[in-house]
Copies of this chain bind each other. A is one copy, B any other.
Amino acid sequence: MSDTRILSEDDLVGTFLAPLAAGFPGALGLKDDCALLAPTPGCELVLKTDPIVGGVHFLADDDPADIAWKALAVNVSDLAAKGATPRIYLMALSLPEAPERDWMARFAEGLGIAQRAFGIHLAGGDTDRTPGHLSIAITVIGEVPAGRMVRRATAAAGDALYVSGTLGDAALGLALRLDSGLGARLGIGVDEAAHARGRYLRPEPRVALAEALRTHARAAMDLSDGLMKDLGRMCRASGVGARVMVADLPLSSAVRRALAAEPARIRDVVAAGDDYEILAALSPAASTAFEADAQRAGVAVTRIGEVTSAREVHVLDAEGVPLPPGRTGWDHFQPR
């Protein structure tokens, strides 16, 4: 078996990773200690690091191409929310054992597909053995025209609240993966279930929405820890509150079916993580232009509520009754 494994770091980097850096001269072919980035004059850099770990953010036997996609997507999603154009990423890859060549080839293939989809290049990184689970720590760097990054802390009372795409698919997708009988019990069709699972495995960063956000949004962030928690963060940072209508939340047919069968699953829609959609606050006067620009960019956006001065976040059901408090979002450190 040992000839199917990669037995040196130089082989791993040279054979599988260097081709991913071929499009970026500053990567120096991954043959130097560091990468070199010449910033575009007049631009500022937007930076983010968000690692994913086996057993936490993905399952160990997931398709390595999906793992690679997700590792990059969760980071690029933040750049998109800030209105930034992705440029390069660095990747620290910690592997529990010398990887099989087939596994690594598939992982690199997934990264390549994601890179092309997001318009970003590998610039550098490091590979290590770890006594723990597979861990992929990616740092992404994007650019915005100077002074134009869309902040989180700048939402204002009266702003309209928007989200991109649909909410709750990833949580449902994970639940479907962990419970093979769930789809049938919830009356979810095969295609719908595949859609939900795909949304968990391959979240789609809304890179195409970046320019519309830069042009119109007063504040924005991506939804990684659930709408309620992340909206709460935006509101706290901005010193405002929010009112969101459950009836206005954009839902896929899979999630609508799940809610029809088990209404309590609404908590997974508002409080589960991994959506990687964008939450934006913008002046109501900018709504029409934002919607038009989003449509031109090919990204669905939905108005879900408004920013208030009350410093509280209310998520109201169809009767205007706030959802009961409870688990309000994903926190890696809170006891469950």
| Interface positions of A (Cβ within 8 A of B) | 2, 6-12, 28, 31-39, 41, 44-51, 53-56, 78-79, 81-82, 84, 88, 90-92, 94, 98, 123-133, 135, 137, 139, 141, 146, 149, 151-153, 221-222, 233, 237, 331-335
Interchain CB contact under 8 A, B48 and A78: no
Interchain CB contact under 8 A, B50 and A126: yes
In-complex Cβ contact of A47 among B35, B44, B130, B233 (8 A)? B35
Interchain CB contact under 8 A, A131 and B132: yes
Q: A7-B334, A39-B45 are in contact. Are A33 and B126 (CB under 8 A)?
A: no
Q: For residue A127, which residues in chain B have a CB less than 8 angstroms away from its CB?
A: 332-333
Q: A92-B50, A333-B6 are in contact. Are A82 and B124 (CB under 8 A)?
A: no
List 15 A–B pairs whose Cβ atoms lie within 8 Å, in order of A's numbering: A8-B333, A12-B333, A32-B82, A32-B151, A36-B46, A37-B45, A41-B41, A49-B91, A49-B124, A49-B125, A50-B126, A56-B129, A56-B131, A129-B333, A132-B133
The complex places the Cα of A132 from the Cα of B133 at a distance, in Å, of: 6
Q: For residue A237, which residues in chain B have a CB less than 8 angstroms away from its CB?
A: 31-32
Interchain CB contact under 8 A, A98 and B333: yes
Interface residues of A: mostly helix, strand, loop or mixed?
A: mixed
In-complex Cβ contact of A221 among B33, B90, B149 (8 A)? B33
In-complex Cβ contact of A49 among B37, B54, B139 (8 A)? B139
Q: For residue A332, which residues in chain B have a CB less than 8 angstroms away from its CB?
A: 9, 127-129
CB of A61, distance to nearest CB on chain B (Å): 15
In-complex Cβ contact of A81 among B28, B33, B124 (8 A)? B33
Interchain CB contact under 8 A, B139 and A31: no
Interchain CB contact under 8 A, B39 and A39: yes
CB of A330, distance to nearest CB on chain B (Å): 9
Interchain CB contact under 8 A, A135 and B139: no
Q: For residue A124, which residues in chain B have a CB less than 8 angstroms away from its CB?
A: 47-49
CB of A175, distance to nearest CB on chain B (Å): 20
Closest B residue to A42 by beta carbon equals B41
Q: For residue A49, which residues in chain B have a CB less than 8 angstroms away from its CB?
A: 90-92, 124-126, 137, 139
The complex places the Cα of A154 from the Cα of B55 at a distance, in Å, of: 43
Q: For residue A335, which residues in chain B have a CB less than 8 angstroms away from its CB?
A: 2, 7
Interchain CB contact under 8 A, B135 and A132: yes
Q: A31-B152, A333-B7, A333-B98 are in contact. Are A53 and B222 (CB under 8 A)?
A: no
Q: For residue A233, which residues in chain B have a CB less than 8 angstroms away from its CB?
A: 10
